[in-house]
Structure 1
Amino acid sequence: MTSVLAYGSEWWFAAAASLFAGMVDAIVGGGGLILVPALFSLYPQVPPATLFGTNKAAAVWGTAWAAQRYARHVELPWRSLFVAAAAAGLGSFAGAWGVTQVPADGLRRVLPFVLAGLLVYTLAKKDLGREHAPRHRGRREMLWASAIGGAIGFYDGFFGPGTGSFFVFLFVRVLGYDFLHASASAKLLNTATNLTALGAFALTGHVAWPLALLMALANVAGSLLGTHLALRHGAGFVRRAFIAVVAALIAKTAYDAFLR
């Protein structure tokens, strides 16, 4: 592991970024929008794969912790979601393989426009995600949830930015969940995609484990705060957080695609 990642003051900045990212991610997803740029800024000499792997090694704990916290307070269709999580994990693995075969440059330029459309739709539909009224039951719900898991899981492995937001939006729009139930469901699927990606990074030696451990502890602390806020303030609060995160994602992905 490169000596640049040895213990230093940068670790505490990374931990602070991880705490804030864990809070945002627990509420609505999008923690990577905070943590990944922070790592790239703190460690410009480190290979990107190592920074991505270290990010996953920290973030997966916060996401998993948020999933179990939501599970204790929000009633969810666990049978459908476990199948969907398996589909998301397989999709993420396929996406990670796909990105080694096909460049993602085209998707990088399209993504800001896709996110902008998602944001405009959410703002136009003022009641979207405020009421929890599932449209499907049983096997039909499982099939739709698995389709969402596989598709967005593939995207996460192939490219990644906004994965949590896409999960939340599709659970609201396709399955009829409110934003709180959608965010809770997204945590389980996002845990599966993060674990798959982490496995790939770990097997190739692209994780700085000591730094990742400190960041993981901070990420779990942020996750505790984020889930507390979401559960206390409900679907309306999560909807507002979703709009803010998607707007930030549009700015970040547009800058990466056209200005950098």
Structure 2
Amino acid sequence: MDQLIEHGGLFALSFFANTLSAMAGGGAGLLQLPVLLFLGLSFNTALATHKIASVALGIGATIRHLREGKLDYKFCGFILLCGLPGVVIGADIIIDIPEGWTILSLGLLTAGLGIYSFRKKALGLTAEPRNRDRLGLIIGGGVLFVIGALNGSLTSGTGLFVTLWLVRWFGLDYKTAVTYVLILVGLFWNSTGAITVALQVDPRWEWLPALLIGATIGSYTGAHLAITQGNQLIKRAFETLTVLVGIKLTGDGIGILMVL
């Protein structure tokens, strides 16, 4: 009975976190990772468990978004080519480096993303393609590489970075940007990071089925809501979640630095 309650709680946590994440384009770790730590896992074990579970965010969202059939596959390849090397590098070094200042900086920047989007009332509500020339792609790809490294090394918020970058730099609307993020970051970037981390640290294997099922169903639900409700809801979800993720990461960073 205790195991049933435990796994039911993990399922509910994963469902809720990934529903929100699929609507906003990232941020599932805001809720999921802290709970895994609260349940007694070490940081590295919780990180490995969360990263493997987060792959299901991409699975559920991909199933829903592919039904729309609106992906530019060349652009998909560009995002993967730029981001995946960064993911591998970031995931390979995270186990061995101090994290306080990095998390604090990331938290402040993430909160800034939400505030920026909120102040730009029309940002991401309509598609205005730009920066598709060689220089624009080089700059855009370089930033995606850096975000990929953050995705591999840290736990939450980096999908939100990609969402806003696709909107701000490449001119996508929020709905389209979230589609790319959930499929490419949620499935491909996250699976690459999960494999790299899991090769170094064992996850909590017995918790993964509940987390994976909850994430798959939750991400499908969130993706469906995003598709049917449109850009305004996604923009508000993005702004809310970025500020919350930023506050959480800032608090984590300050807490780690105070202990040192």
More off after superposition, 189-198 vs 225-234: 189-198
Counterpart Cα distance in 2 of 1:118 and 1:211: 33
Letter in 2 for 1:225: T
Deviation at 1:101, TM superposition (A): 5.5
Q: 1:20 aligns with which of 16, 19, 22?
A: 16
**Matching residue of 1:64:** 59
Q: What CA distance in whole angstroms lies between the structure 2 residues aligned with 1:203 and 1:112?
A: 27
Residue 3 of structure 1 corresponds to none
- Cα displacement (A) at 1:51: 1.6
Among candidates 11, 29, 34, match of residue 31 of structure 2? 34
Amino acid at match of 1:30: G
Residue of 218, 222, 225 corresponding to 1:222:
218
Q: Quote the offset at 1:138 in angstroms.
A: 7.3
Tell me how far apart the structure 2 counterparts of residues 143 and 178 of structure 1 sit (CA, whole Å).
21
Q: Which of 106, 111, 115 lines up with 1:111 in the alignment?
A: 106
Structure 1 residue 140, shift from structure 2 partner: 6.5
Describe how 1:1-260 pairs up with structure 2 within 5 A: 7=3, 9-28=5-24, 29-41=26-38, 43-44=39-40, 46-73=41-68, 75-100=70-95, 102-137=97-132, 143=138, 146-190=141-185, 191-259=187-255
Which structure ranks higher in relative contact order (CA pairs < 8 Å, sequence separation ≥ 6)?
2
Contact 1:84 1:147 in 2 (8 A): no
Q: Distance in 1 between matches of 2:140 and 2:28?
A: 22
Over the aligned positions, Cα root-mean-square deviation in angstroms equals 2.2
Distance 1:259 1:102, change over 3 A: closer
Unaligned runs of 5+ in 1: 1-5
The 3 A distance-change label for structure 1 pair 218 and 161 is closer
1:10-49 residue CA offsets vs partner (Å, 9 max, x unmatched): 22111110011121121121111111112122x21x3222
Q: Secondary structure at 1:72's aligned position in 2?
A: coil
Instruction: Give the percent of matched residue pairs that are identical in Structure 1 and Structure 2.
Output: 27
Call closer, same or farther: CA 1:63–1:157 in 2, change over 3 Å.
Answer: same
Contact 1:201-1:207 at 8 Å conserved across structures: no
Matched position secondary structure for 1:64 = helix
Measure the CA separation in 2 of the matches of 1:111 and 1:196.
21
Deviation at 1:9, TM superposition (A): 2.5
| Structure 1, 171-180 or 191-200: larger mean CA deviation | 191-200
Quick one: distance in 2 between partners of 1:64 and 1:145?
Answer: 26
Task: Work out the CA distance in 2 between the residues paired with 1:49 and 1:106.
Answer: 18
Q: Which amino acid aligns with 1:132?
A: A
Q: In the TM superposition, what is the alpha-carbon distance from 1:94 to its structure 2 partner? A: 0.8
TM score, norm. by length of structure 1:
0.88
| 1:91 partner letter | G
1:97 Cα deviation after fit: 2.8
CA contact (8 A) 2:114 2:238 kept: no
Shift of 1:96: 2.2
How many residue pairs match? The answer is 253
Verify the 8 A CA contact 1:164 1:186 in the aligned structure 2. yes
Could you say if the C-alpha distance between residues 209 and 129 of structure 1 is closer, same or farther in structure 2, counting changes exceeding 3 Å? Answer: same
Question: How much does 1:72 deviate?
Answer: 2.5
1:84 is displaced (CA, Å) by 1.5
